[in-house]
Structure 1
Amino acid sequence: MRMLVQASIDTERSNAVVAAGKMPESVEQMLNILKPEAAYFYPLHGRRGFTMVVDVADEAALIPLVEPLWTEMGADVEVVPCLTAQELQTGLARLTAQS
């Protein structure tokens, strides 16, 4: 299942990671864990933020994916299911077929 993961990272915690020179390593580790289809990094609500599109096997797979964002980065995390245009069209066709 494709999910949109958006996180706003705690500034104090991430400043400590930057000051220690570990931000590149932390980002690489996060990318290796989440294995996103797409990843975008930007300021979010005055904090460091990102949005990633990830594919998860099932809902339970979300826990090990996002838990480090809470415990290690103090992030505010939102996870939302998302579809491609083709998946939307398939769903709409199924809806029409049920009517």
Structure 2
Amino acid sequence: MQAKAFLLGAVLLVFGAISLMALREVGYLGIWQSGLANWGAFQVLVDLVIACALICIWMVSDARQRGTNPWPFVALTLVFGVFGPLLYLLFRLRQDHSASLSAT
């Protein structure tokens, strides 16, 4: 549990730092405009949108099985991309850890 949480936290921090640098340089709309700059960038943008949509479908299904509300994480994904799934995975680990502690 701790190794997974550490790895997810590290990814979240590094990606968060990269995202803050991008936001500071080009702004939120500038990030989206970069994805429309040429066909190569557009392909990456579409790829990320498809991947995030598939992840949202998985999050909704997984959260329903666990009795958790997935919609805050889906909303985060729609606005901030991969931050939603990363936070969901951290939340899920914490939820699993709490359940294992209460079972003992």
TM-score for both structures, normalised by structure 2: 0.32
- Normalized per residue, the structure richer in helix is 2
Larger relative contact order (Cα-Cα within 8 Å, sequence gap ≥ 6): 1
- Normalized per residue, the structure richer in strand is 1
TM-score for both structures, normalised by structure 1: 0.33
